[in-house]
Amino acid sequence: KGMVELRSGRKYVIRQKGVVLSLTITSIPITFTKHLKSLQAEEGSSVILRCEISKPGVPLEWRKEQELLRNGVKYQIRRRETTLELLIWKPVPEDSGLYSCVCADQMTSATNFQLDLNVTIEEGSTATLRCELSKPGHSVEWRKRGNEVIRNGEKYHMKQRDMLFELKIFNVTLEDSDIYTCTCGDAETSATLTVNGNSVRLCYSLHSNSRTVLNKYINNTCDPTFTSAT
């Protein structure tokens, strides 16, 4: 007697010639085919978190920690078929955190943490690199050149304050200029340390039959306390 549309989540009973059949339609579970990945964003540059699900048109939520996110000036939630995106406008350090996309009983999350990306310092000074996690209870590992593990000692000092980790490098030299990496599990972020060396220049040129004055050049100025004459 015509066609009947069968819908998921419902139970149907079919009777025909004394035979009773029970039919239950179950839906295909929704899964994430592409999970969120942790990102490192520069302050002021917009960032996009992206994931993919196995079925289009299903309801979803974006959260930061336990906070439900909505479309507005700060966030823009976008959907393209099975691709889900969260755009964060001009992030600041306070936007670091654990972001999650929740769909039905499935969830994918990304832990974001930030590090000062580039540090320039004068030779002989102390350099400080900072790495901030979004959740407490984790540890990090500092590396130089990607594979040299850094340990506490006369040259380096590492400390932790809640979710903030610091690496201090004492009495830096030109050889300390390198890429330093902060690693937490599978996530990592890097910073470039540049050390400017003290240079010496000739502040007064040589002239025949006259005194020769050489001054030490420090920080783009001539230091008159360091002189010699012939």
Spell out the residues 6+ positions from residue 161 whose beta carbon is closer than 8 angstroms to its own.
Answer: none
Averaged confidence pLDDT in the chain: 75
User: Residue 58: pLDDT above 60?
Assistant: yes
| pLDDT score for 174 | 92
Element (H, E) at 213: none
Query: d(Cα 94, Cα 72) in Å, to the nearest integer?
Result: 17
Spell out the residues 6+ positions from residue 72 whose beta carbon is closer than 8 angstroms to its own.
Answer: none
| pLDDT score for 117 | 60
* Contact predicate 64/88, CB 8 Å: no
Report the half-sphere exposure of 217 (CA within 13 A, side-chain side).
10
Query: d(Cα 214, Cα 86) in Å, to the nearest integer?
Result: 61
Query: d(Cα 128, Cα 157) in Å, to the nearest integer?
Result: 10
| pLDDT score for 216 | 36
* DSSP conformational letter for 155: S
* % of the chain with per-residue pLDDT over 90: 22
Other Cβ atoms closer than 10 A to 206 = 11
Other Cβ atoms closer than 10 A to 127 = 22
| pLDDT score for 83 | 92
pLDDT one-digit tens code per residue, 136-194: 788 899 999 878 999 999 999 999 887 788 899 999 999 999 999 888 887 777 788 89
Length of the chain: 230
Confidence of residue 18 (pLDDT cuts 50, 70, 90): low
Confidence of residue 71 (pLDDT cuts 50, 70, 90): very high
Largest CA distance in the chain: 128
Query: d(Cα 27, Cα 111) in Å, to the nearest integer?
Result: 31
Instruction: Give mean pLDDT, residues 106-131.
Output: 76
Which domains, from first to last, does the chain contain? Answer: 32-111 (2.60.40.10), 114-196 (2.60.40.10), 199-230 (no CATH)
* Contact predicate 38/98, CB 8 Å: no
Amino acid at residue number 141: E
Spell out the residues 6+ positions from residue 79 whose beta carbon is closer than 8 angstroms to its own.
Answer: 60, 85
Its pTM surpasses 0.85: no
